Amino acid sequence: MINELYHYIIITKSKLFDRAYYLRNYPDVLHADVDTLWHFIRIGWKEGRNPSQSFNTNYYLNENTDVKQANINPLIHYIKFGRKEGRAPNPIPHPGMGKYIFEPVKSCPDTEIPIFNKEYIQTHPKKLDEDLGFEKIKIYGSEINLDDKSRNDYENITLYDTKISIIIPTINAGDDFDFLIKMLINQKGFHEIEIVIVDSGSSDHTLEIANRYGAKIIEIPNEEFSHSHARNLGAKNATGEYLLFTVQDALPPSLTWLNELVTGLKTKDVSAVSCAELPRENADLFYHVISWNHYEFLDVNKHDRILAMPEEPNHFNLRKNGQLSDLACLIPAELFRKYQYRFSYAEDLDLGIRLIKDGLKIAFLGSTRIIHSHNRPAYYFLKRGYVDNIFLSEIFEDFKIPQLKLLNVIEDIAFSYNFLIKNVFTKIQALSFPIQLSTLHMEVKQYLGEAKTYPYPIKTSYQENMSLDPELSGFIDIIINKSGYTQIDGNYQGNLIEAMFGFVNITFEYLKTTHDIIDKPFIESLTACLTKEISILAGAHLAYAYINRSDEDIELAAFLHSILKANV
Amino acid sequence: MKILFLTHQFFPEYQTGTERFVLNNALMAQKFGNKVKVVTYSYYENAFYDQEIHGILYKEFFYEGIPVLAFKFKRIPENINLVLENKNLSPFAKSVLEVEAPDIIHVGHSMRMHEFIWSAINLGIPYIITSTDFFLLCPKINLTPDKFSLCSGPKGGKACAKLCPELDRKFISRRLEAAEKILKNAKDIVAPSEFVAQIYKQEFPILSFEIIPHGIRYHFIKNNDRVYDKESKITFGYLGNLIYHKGVHVLLSAFKSIETKNSSLKIYGFGQQKFIKKLKEISNNDKRVSFQGLFASEKLGNVLSDIDVLINPSISYETYSFTLHEALACDVPVIASNIGVMGEVIVNNFNGFTFSPGDALDLAHRMEEIIKNPAILNDLKQNIKNQITIPTIEQEAYAYTKLYKNFHS
């Protein structure tokens, strides 16, 4: 008790304890209604709580193992010894310190004229009034005229005397669906907006919400659903002159969004128009990277593009010039009915390519966007990488398939996840933060380069030993066991890590648009992103191996194909 | 594009509505592919800062992944919260703008930050202003001449001379000139509500405002789908700071006057112990009233699911009110003072009720109407659900992104 009292006095005198900070950051202390400094001295520091913004308890203990081992209050140590010894109370200074350099002005008064009317203040001393008042509030001055409206987005829009049908395939669309429908039916500038829902078996409030807003509802059995069929059915039942295809988890960013699409269609004189997406607030880094990279590929990050048949119609040019997106695809109803959607996958790209092949133009807008993103686990992206590449090989004859063998790809997968987690991620986490983005990029590339001399892992359970999403680690265990993988002697012979260099460069190119300096908490996002990147690559490589399957691995390839094609 | 956000105070030191607005937009601007930095005045103890130059202390750190430059004067000028210029800050502000080289500046709150605006004008850096309160019109910030009154703007200083005679006339006149210059040089001026825009336009009719309501973070939102009958017990709720001008004392006084066991009142928020003690004295151990303290932001949906009617009893102008809009986003009706944005957003018998500010009796009548006939809430909730759209932070940031792009070559 005497010791605690002594600490109380020392800390109070030091002025290094900030009661307001403590209460703000630790509301349980506020509820407990105890003296904040007593709380810090008796319990708080042991729980790693900080006495103020300027002293980081855990940092001090971790950096000064003598203090940690002695089990003494780190703030007391800092006040009595650490400060004199030059020990830092907080993490290392921010990069770029001292960059603001200037010559001071000759000291000026705060203001050249008096602020207060001294004469009035002297004759009207301030009343000490601590009572709460219970009077009606008097409002001086004129009434505020709220009818004199300020500018808004939709005062200058073009009005279209037309009917738009919005077609949305649904299944258990969730609570956000209400907001989506409300935003759609309130879009400005149209004679009429019709909502057509094609539902394949919702058991939540989806149909109730659709009914409440007067949507036309078409119900189909779940097994009848395909992306093309549902949308074609919606189109068949739509009565508008224009069709807008969108999805149940998108959100228009404004009430003029649809008007911008229609204006785009008409002014650019194109047969169909789509727009880019804008990830939601909780979208992860991986989603931002792939979304940004996709729009870099389409060249719509900075402007809109009108797309037409390329001179050289290879798969690269056709994808770059034939892209429509079901997140938002506006097309005249009559034209759509001639073409309709085909396939169970990438039906939007297929439609775009058919339109441009027939000499029509389409547009992809980067200046107008729709809010949409998914946070999906790494395993989803492994499957996505697989399905995308199978699809591309099926529809583009010139799509080049690397000659890979399934067993080698599985060895590569076993190596790559282990190498990334154990070597690359561990070393990234051990760096000093904050760190310049360019330095971090160099470090990551260096750690990846160490693959050449890193050993293949012994056969192990990824589900038990790796911090991966359970479905992904379960899948890796399955392919390792089915393939009969054993540890390989010698240096790494795979392709996945080499491919990762490309993805890492894309990631850092994206980060260059948003960051100069990276702080430590961001690293969790980065490693999660890299895990999804290796997964999408692993999926692609499994697809290449499937396409190159031979008698020796045909059963295993068929087994993996059945797993990886499901539910994407 | 690089966007520099200016604000008079910021997280984690201060956490009011303006700080939320700045944080939300900085986060979203970064997510939309821009570089961002928040530059803020601050009041940390001197040991917090790791740099000092010519009497200015500063430190850079991250908050939720957003780079922040926090600075303060080592010797804090006496009138720093009142004036619109301070030449001693000018070289620092100029240096920061030259080093950071933003493409555009977004002013979230100009108090203590004006030298950055004057430097931006001199350096030709475009800026937009969001008027989150009335600071550029009123040194007292919220148009409150005294505890029991509100005014409707300075009227060229004439209203100040009459209602706030303690302020020097020349100071007010010069301050208004500076404010007009700051506003006129902005590439765009935005208000979160029509009410704010109209107050400014009364003073400076030449100005043109764009209305961009603040967005809210929807992943904290949860629909309150309770259905009411004549027997339903009603829980009223207050969410916000426990400070005088929020009018919680009026709410407690109103509730105390209602004799019913069929309702309760939950008060969420934080304030000075001395003030909370006074509030508790008013409630006088009324077991129907509970002080719930603070709650984590991710619990917002749960908190609003536990209350049937939100009460906003503010006795000063609110320019937006996040909690009012969050309640509506959760389909919770609101009783609010009929001033400021509340009078603009809350419509009697449509999405809630309004009452005369500071009038506990009027508020009590409104609460009693609901206690006696809880089923009236069903219609209000349906109206809110079907007809009111509160923007998300993505939608708000999208609107701002369009503005930034207009002024970025």
pLDDT at A129 > cutoff 60: no
Contact A140 B88 (CB under 8 A): no
Minimal Cα–Cα distance from B47 to chain A, Å? 6
Per-residue pLDDT band for B267 (boundaries 50, 70, 90) equals very high
Reply yes or no on whether the pLDDT at A246 is more than 70.
yes
CB neighbour burial string for B172-184, b if at least 16 within 10 angstroms, e if fewer: bebbbebbbebbe
- Tens digit of pLDDT for each residue in A414-471? 999 999 999 999 999 999 999 999 999 999 999 999 999 999 999 888 888 888 899 9
Last residue in a domain, options A68, A85, A102: A85
pLDDT in tens, A487-530: 888 899 999 999 999 999 999 999 999 999 999 999 999 999 99
Residue A58 burial (CB count, 10 A):
14
Judgement on whether residues A210 and A185 belong to the same structural domain of the protein: yes
Average pLDDT over residues B159-177: 93
The answer to whether residue A146 scores a pLDDT higher than 80 is no
Q: What is the mean pLDDT of residues A285-298?
A: 97
* Structural domain contains residue A145: no
Is residue A137, in this structure, part of any structural domain at all?
A: no
In a domain, A21, yes or no: yes
Which of the listed residues A323, A343, A375 is the one where a domain comes to its end?
A: A375
Least confident interval from A32-41, A173-182, B131-140, B172-181: A32-41
Assigned CATH topology for domain B218-387? Rossmann fold (3.40.50)
Q: Average pLDDT for residues B378-383, to the nearest whole number?
A: 96
Same domain for A169 and A202? Answer: yes
Pairwise CB contact (< 8 Å): B270 & A24: yes
Q: How many CB atoms lie within 10 A of CB B312?
A: 26
User: Chain-wide mean pLDDT for chain B?
Assistant: 94
Q: pLDDT tens for residues A97-108?
A: 778 888 887 766
Q: Are residues A361 and A437 in the same domain?
A: no
Q: Over pLDDT 90: what percentage of chain B?
A: 86
How does pLDDT run across A61-83, given as a tens digit for each residue? Answer: 888 889 988 999 999 999 889 88
* Domain hosting residue A504, numbered range: 380-564
CB B364 within 8 A of CB B344: no
Do A336 and A392 lie in one domain? The reply is: no
Provide the domain count of chain A.
3
Are A522 and A496 members of one domain?
A: yes
Indicate whether A433 and A530 sit together in one domain. yes
A363 plus A399 within the same structural domain: no
Asked if residue A391 and residue A355 are part of one domain, the reply reads: no
Q: Does A411 lie in the same domain as A283?
A: no
pLDDT band at A358 (very low <50, low <70, confident <90, very high): very high
Interface check B50 vs A, CB under 8 A: yes
Q: How far is CA A9 from the centre of its chain?
A: 49
- The ranges of chain B annotated as CATH 3.40.50.2000 are 2-215+392-407, 218-387
Is B219's CB within 8 Å of A282's CB? Answer: yes
As beta bridge partners, residue B217 has none
> Across the interface, which of B86, B96, B209 has its CB nearest the CB of A150?
B209
Contact A179 B50 (CB under 8 A): no
Asked if residue A124 belongs to a domain, the reply is no
Residue B173, chain A, CB below 8 Å: the answer is: no
Nearest to A424 by CA among A341, A527, A337, A564: A527
User: Is there a single domain that holds both residue A183 and residue A312?
Assistant: yes
CB-based burial, A243-259: b 16+ in 10 Å, e otherwise: bbbbbbbbbbbbbbbbb
Taking the CA of residue A86 and the nearest CA in chain B, the distance in Å comes to 13
Q: How many Cβ atoms sit within 10 Å of the Cβ of residue B354?
A: 21
Same domain for A448 and A469: yes
Residue A491 in domain: yes
Contact A116 B399 (CB under 8 A): no
Q: Which of A326, A349, A375 is the last residue of a domain?
A: A375
Beta-bridge partner residues of B310: B237, B334
d(CA B89, CA A348): 56
How many beta-carbon contacts under 8 Å exist across A and B? 258
Using DSSP's 3-state secondary structure scheme, residue A67 falls into helix
Q: What is the pLDDT of residue A30?
A: 78
Which superfamily does B2-215+392-407 belong to?
Answer: Glycogen Phosphorylase B; (3.40.50.2000)
B77 to chain A, closest Cα gap in Å:
6
CA distance A159 to A191: 8
Is-cis flag, bond preceding B102, omega within 30?
no
Rounded mean pLDDT, B164-188: 95
**Can you tell me the distance from the alpha carbon of A515 to that of A437, in angstroms, rounded to the nearest whole number?**
7
CATH number at residue A361: 3.90.550.10
> Is the same domain home to A305 and A427?
no
Q: Can you read off the two tokens belonging to residue A474?
A: 């379960």
Q: Are B223 and A175 inside 8 Å of each other by CB?
A: yes
Q: Given a cut of 80, is residue B244 above it in pLDDT? A: yes
Q: At what angle do helices A496-514 and A437-449 cross, to 10 degrees?
A: 180
What φ, ψ does residue B88 adopt, rounded to 5°?
A: -65, -20
Residue with tokens 């006339």: B169
Q: What pLDDT sits at residue A32?
A: 77
